[in-house]
Amino acid sequence: MSSPPRAPGSVVLCFMLSALGAAGFAASYVLGLSNEALGACIGGAFAFLALGLARWSSVISAAEPQYVEERSVGPTPQPEYDAFRQALTEQPVPRSWVLWGSLGTAVAAIGGAALFPLRSLLPAMGTDPDAVLSRTPWKAGLRLVTEAGLPIRATDLDLGGVLTAFPEGLEPREHVDTTTLLIRLDPSVLDLPDGRRDWVVDGVVAYSKLCTHAGCPVGLYADTARQLLCPCHHSIFDVATGATPVAGPAPHPLPQLPLGTDSSGYLVARGDFSGPVGPGWGNH
């Protein structure tokens, strides 16, 4: 080694600027300055530190040769390896299948037993996911209400109007699968599947708001084309023909909710949706 290189002024300057940035950060914090000021100061402090260190490193490396280090990776020589094997399998450890087998059984049993508490992560015993996914709390006679909980008449919707509705008395956020989209159409354009003619009240049709592809709320309605669009993966459904998918990845129509009115003229469900709502699942 020759004499060490002297400290370059540029490096010292960088370090000083770095300290200044840190002080600026502390001052900005105390004064309650903007997020931009905080970020610029502390980011600048680190940037000057980085610059100084990089400069320092390059000053040193310019004076240094390329170093060479030998690499000694490879298999251990056979005798040494054999000695290792022998130490591993030496006398005090008997080669008994019964002994090793019973140890293996104990370890596997403990591992298996440790899986049981994971069951507690699932909903309570007796809950069948497939049954839960297959139906919603909608039932005959249950009123449709707005998010604010107000009952709805068909005439509350203008022609081409859309409204998100929920079952009366249930917390919407806890029963997401009940989320329903009401759309009022001119009854003459409706071309619903057989048996659903009387599921409509004054041109108001009700569909599940959850996309049959990945379960996103089908939030965009274009009345000119009478189409619903899901913003997630751009599936498009034709509202007049039973929300059949006309484009995009959704494979099924949006399930329809049979509508009726109660004695006061408010909209009620006449049963559950025409099929499971939301995305399909694997053991369905």
Partner 1 sequence: MLSLLTRALPRPRPMRKLDERLGFASAGRTILAKVFPDHWSFMLGEIALYSFVFLVLSGIYLALFFEPSTAMVTYHGHYAPMRGEQVSAAYASTVRLSWDVRGGLLVRQAHHWAAHLFIASIVLHLCRIYLTGAFRRPRELNWTIGLTMLLLAIFNAFAGYSLPDDLLSGTGLRIFNAIALSIPVVGSWLGFLVFDGEFPGQEIIQRLYIAHVLLVPALLAILISAHLAMVIRQKHTHFPGPGRRDSNVVGSRAWPTYGLRSLSLLTAVFAAVLLAGGLLQINPVWAWGDFDPTTITAPSVADWYILWIEGALRLFPPVEFHVFGLEVPNQFWPGVVLPGLIFGMLYLWPWLDRRWTGDSEAHHLTGRPRESPLRVGLASAMLVFMAVLLVAGAQELIVQWTGWTVESVRNVLRVLVFVLPLAAAFMGRWVAESLRRSDLDHAVELGAKDMRAGLRRAKRSQAQ
Which residues in 14-53 contact partner 1 (CB under 8 A)? 29, 32, 35-40, 42-47, 49-53
DSSP H or E segment with residue 10: helix 9-31
* Residue 232 CB-density burial (10 A; 0-12 exposed, 13-18 middle, 19+ buried): middle
Residues 216-245 that bind partner 1 (CB under 8 A): 216-217, 219-220, 229, 231-236, 245
Strand partners, 260: 268
How far from the centroid of its chain's Cα atoms is residue 25's Cα? 36
Which CB atom, from 37 or from 192, has the smaller least distance to partner 1? 37
Distance CA 76, CA 87 (A): 15
Closest approach of partner 1 to the CB of residue 194, in Å = 22
Strand partners, 167: 144
> Does 280 help bind partner 1 (rule: CB under 8 A)?
yes
Closest approach of partner 1 to the CB of residue 267, in Å = 17
Residues 140-199 that bind partner 1 (CB under 8 A): 147, 164, 166, 172-173, 176-177, 179
Which CB atom, from 127 or from 188, has the smaller least distance to partner 1? 127
Closest approach of partner 1 to the CB of residue 263, in Å = 28
Q: How many residues bind partner 1 (CB under 8 A)?
A: 79
Residues 98-127 that bind partner 1 (CB under 8 A): 118, 121-123, 127
SS3 275: coil
The residue count for the chain: 284
* Residue 274 CB-density burial (10 A; 0-12 exposed, 13-18 middle, 19+ buried): buried
Note whether 212 and 279 are within 8 A (CB).
Answer: yes
Given 74, 77, 79, 117, the residue binding partner 1 (CB under 8 A)? 74
Closest approach of partner 1 to the CB of residue 6, in Å = 15
